[in-house]
Chain A
């Protein structure tokens, strides 16, 4: 286990470094001169020069890369060019919307998908199973941002149960905050729940065909007992991986859904960053999201190895 952990940690580090190099090269090296890019075509040469100096662009690329990484490690992302405040501040405010939204959606998606997938697998090929599979097929095809618009139409405009957008802030109370995130989280969760339910179902069907299930039945366990004690537990392992993968989709999806509900999260920040050519903001947000994706993959790998000791040796 120790060797396995060291190996995974090393590859985690390599992935993080590689990802940061890619982001750095795309944002700072490819545009040629980021300062004149950020200021646009009509900028005065001395303004460009001032910005170059402020951003430290006169240093060689390698030195700038290490300065950036050194800052990141200490939680310093740099100063936003448009907002004139540290990017770390901008991000931490908005992270408290995007992250809870993604987690909320992940919880919802799991809560929907597990029972549905298990229920369908236990009734394999019955009309109920076929209906569920049809519904999930539809759920996968629905773009989450469109579903979000339908939710707004139904629950905000027609029924007036929820506000159509905006965020009161967590200082308004937990309930108000959660309420504002509910429609966005449902919109994000539904397509993911459809995928997860299908994975849960097929994984469970696979375990239900195993010999140990037959043994469990032969020793006198009822169908229900076999399902819950043996099949579901073993079927969960591949499902865990998908949940891990989904988190990255949910984070990316959250960025899009924030647009529908006018939530001031990371998505709004990064899209404003793009229109205002604030490359420091864009670079930092993308790095943060990639970091989250890589960390989640790492955690899933470890969880996997704890759940199934055979995997520790295989790698």
Chain B
């Protein structure tokens, strides 16, 4: 970090960038909320029923009746996108939950027992998981248990564990040297209590930012897994599956490929913008040094 050494940025330029950053937070949050809302609304209302096939309406381009057109079975693509958002969001969200639920305690433990055998074991375990990209974990699980959305959740979740463990450990290590932790130790608190009462609360911001990033990676990973058939299975609509179906029709009905892809891009972009914005709001120092 080069906080002190940073050459002074012109105040006006800096303000401009800060405003831009906050704007990115607002824009990102709006995009994300639109998709979450669409997913929630799909439980009570979709323009058309996604389980009903209407072959006469197949491959219709976007029109007032079908804003995003229809697919090769005549299903309304807007409705499919709404229901597919559920799958994407649920898979990515639970996978982040797994990552935080297991990774954070591991990271806290490693930091609290710095340079011990336990720390070493946790970190080497992390390295091992890092050698398995989410796709390979999904391949292994699917080969043995068959495909399904749960596999995608487990594969992406396992992939998230070392990410959160590392981030937590790194930040916790620097907190352990701070005075308020020292005074807690003097007061006779044990490592577990200090970790829970003093370290963890100070990590919340960091974990929210990392969580947002992993959430967006999770959306991308889920799409890729269901595209190759390792994720959600038909008839459950998912954006990746929609793209897999669109592939053979791409010359005939490009909208079938364009729309689900754009949904993924916009959702991921929204989450990334939100993550960047949150990082700056939580840590103004970064706003100055990063650029």
Chain A contacts to B: CB under 8 angstroms: 11, 14-15, 18-19, 22-23, 26-27, 30-31, 37, 124-125, 137-138, 140-146, 149-150, 152-153, 157, 202, 205-206, 209-211, 248-249, 251-252, 255-256, 259-260, 267, 270-271, 273-274, 277, 279, 282, 285-286, 289-290, 293-294, 297
Tell me, yes or no, whether B250 is within 8 Å of chain A by CB: yes
Tell me, yes or no, whether B261 is within 8 Å of chain A by CB: yes
Interface hits, B209-262 → A, CB 8 Å: 216, 220, 223-224, 227-230, 243, 246-247, 250-251, 254, 257-258, 260-261
Whole-angstrom CA separation of A286 from B131 in the bound complex: 11
* CB atoms of B128 and A22 under 8 A apart: yes
Whole-angstrom CA separation of A144 from B223 in the bound complex: 10
**What 7 A-B pairs are tightest by C-beta distance, nearest first?**
A146-B261, A141-B268, A141-B269, A252-B133, A252-B135, A282-B143, A209-B2
With a CB–CB cut-off of 8 A, which chain B residues contact A31?
A: 144
* CB atoms of B131 and A141 under 8 A apart: no
With a CB–CB cut-off of 8 A, which chain A residues contact B143?
A: 27, 273-274, 277, 279, 282
Question: Which of A140, A146, A255 contacts B272, CB < 8 Å?
Answer: A140
With a CB–CB cut-off of 8 A, which chain B residues contact A143?
A: 220, 223-224, 227, 243, 261, 264-265
Chain A interface helix/strand/loop/mixed: helix
* CB atoms of B135 and A256 under 8 A apart: yes
Nearest-neighbour CB distance to chain B for A273, whole angstroms, equals: 7
* CB atoms of A286 and B261 under 8 A apart: no
Nearest-neighbour CB distance to chain A for B38, whole angstroms, equals: 18
Q: A143-B223, A293-B132 are in contact. List 4 more A-B contacts (CB 8 A).
A: A15-B124, A206-B2, A209-B5, A277-B143
* CB atoms of A149 and B128 under 8 A apart: no
Nearest-neighbour CB distance to chain B for A109, whole angstroms, equals: 16
Contacts A/B (CB < 8 Å), 16 sampled: A11-B124, A27-B140, A27-B143, A37-B144, A125-B13, A125-B17, A141-B268, A143-B223, A143-B227, A149-B261, A153-B250, A211-B5, A271-B229, A274-B142, A286-B139, A289-B136
The bracket for how many chain B residues form the interface is 35 or more
Among B247, B258, B266, which residue has the most Cβ atoms of chain A within 10 A?
A: B247
Nearest-neighbour CB distance to chain B for A78, whole angstroms, equals: 15
Whole-angstrom CA separation of A143 from B266 in the bound complex: 11
Interface hits, B1-19 → A, CB 8 Å: 2, 5-7, 9, 13, 17
Tell me, yes or no, whether B177 is within 8 Å of chain A by CB: no
Whole-angstrom CA separation of A211 from B4 in the bound complex: 12
With a CB–CB cut-off of 8 A, which chain A residues contact B127?
A: 15
* CB atoms of A248 and B224 under 8 A apart: no
Nearest-neighbour CB distance to chain B for A95, whole angstroms, equals: 16
Whole-angstrom CA separation of A61 from B137 in the bound complex: 22
Whole-angstrom CA separation of A267 from B227 in the bound complex: 13
Nearest-neighbour CB distance to chain A for B151, whole angstroms, equals: 11
* CB atoms of A141 and B13 under 8 A apart: no
Nearest-neighbour CB distance to chain A for B254, whole angstroms, equals: 6
Tell me, yes or no, whether B115 is within 8 Å of chain A by CB: no
Question: Which of B2, B132, B254, B265 contacts A19, CB < 8 Å?
Answer: B132
Question: Which of B5, B9, B140, B246 contacts A149, CB < 8 Å?
Answer: B246
Interface hits, B155-171 → A, CB 8 Å: none
With a CB–CB cut-off of 8 A, which chain B residues contact A14?
A: 124
* CB atoms of A260 and B251 under 8 A apart: no
Among B220, B223, B266, B273, which residue has the most Cβ atoms of chain A within 10 A?
A: B220
Contact pattern, B 97-141, Cβ under 8 Å of A = 1, otherwise 0: 000000000000000000000000000100110111111100111
- B269 closest partner in A (C-beta): A141
- A289 closest partner in B (C-beta): B136
Whole-angstrom CA separation of A211 from B272 in the bound complex: 33
Nearest-neighbour CB distance to chain A for B105, whole angstroms, equals: 21
- B141 closest partner in A (C-beta): A26
* CB atoms of B136 and A149 under 8 A apart: no
Among B144, B229, B257, which residue has the most Cβ atoms of chain A within 10 A?
A: B144
With a CB–CB cut-off of 8 A, which chain A residues contact B134?
A: 252
Nearest-neighbour CB distance to chain A for B22, whole angstroms, equals: 15
* CB atoms of B264 and A146 under 8 A apart: yes
* CB atoms of B2 and A149 under 8 A apart: no
Whole-angstrom CA separation of A22 from B272 in the bound complex: 33
Tell me, yes or no, whether B291 is within 8 Å of chain A by CB: yes
Whole-angstrom CA separation of A199 from B269 in the bound complex: 18
Tell me, yes or no, whether B178 is within 8 Å of chain A by CB: no
Nearest-neighbour CB distance to chain B for A100, whole angstroms, equals: 19
Whole-angstrom CA separation of A279 from B142 in the bound complex: 11
* CB atoms of A297 and B131 under 8 A apart: yes
With a CB–CB cut-off of 8 A, which chain B residues contact A23?
A: 140
Whole-angstrom CA separation of A136 from B130 in the bound complex: 25
Given A22-B128, A149-B261, A256-B227, answer yes or no on A141-B140 (Cβ-Cβ < 8 Å). Answer: no
Nearest-neighbour CB distance to chain A for B217, whole angstroms, equals: 10
Whole-angstrom CA separation of A146 from B5 in the bound complex: 43
With a CB–CB cut-off of 8 A, which chain A residues contact B132?
A: 19, 22, 290, 293
Whole-angstrom CA separation of A270 from B263 in the bound complex: 29
Among A145, A157, A205, which residue has the most Cβ atoms of chain B within 10 A?
A: A145
